[in-house]
Amino acid sequence: MKISKTDRGYSPFNLKRISTNHTSSNFIETFEGKLNKLVSQDIDTLISEVYNLDNEVENNFKEEHIERYKDIIKKLILKTQELVKVVEKISGKNKDKILKVVVISDTKLKKLLDEVINSEISKLRIKGILKELNGILISLKV
């Protein structure tokens, strides 16, 4: 005869709490803070580049602007790839949420890069790309 327990609170495993050393958690918090500060500085630099380029495009559109857009998009892709590598190493409560934002941004940037390379770009399309870049930068900064 087999007896099974159907109590909702029943757990077949002995759960033990593991206490963590406070100094290691403080180290992780300070490391994450420094990392976020560095990342936000890089993203702020890219945002200012996009704004400057936007002003130049409004005044006078040239072929060199397309190359500068490509460079900014490449920098953003590299930055998001660096973020993915770092975020994978850090464990925390919001790890999945941060990783999801970075991966989504990375795929959008790759689509934008393909579009810039493969199609003719009008001034209006570049304005649309600028708005998308600004949105991606803002989502990365948050």
CATH numeric code, 24-141: 1.20.120.490
Residues 94-126 pLDDT 10s? 655 555 555 666 677 777 767 666 655 666 677
User: What's the chain look like in SS3?
Assistant: CCCCCCCCCCCCCCCCCCCCCHHHHHHHHHHHHHHHHHHHHHHHHHHHHHHHHHHHHHHCCCHHHHHHHHHHHHHHHHHHHHHHHHHHHCCCCCHHHHHHHHHHHHHHHHHHHHHHHHCCCCHHHHHHHHHHHHHHHHHHHC
Residues 30-55 pLDDT 10s? 655 665 666 667 777 877 887 788 77
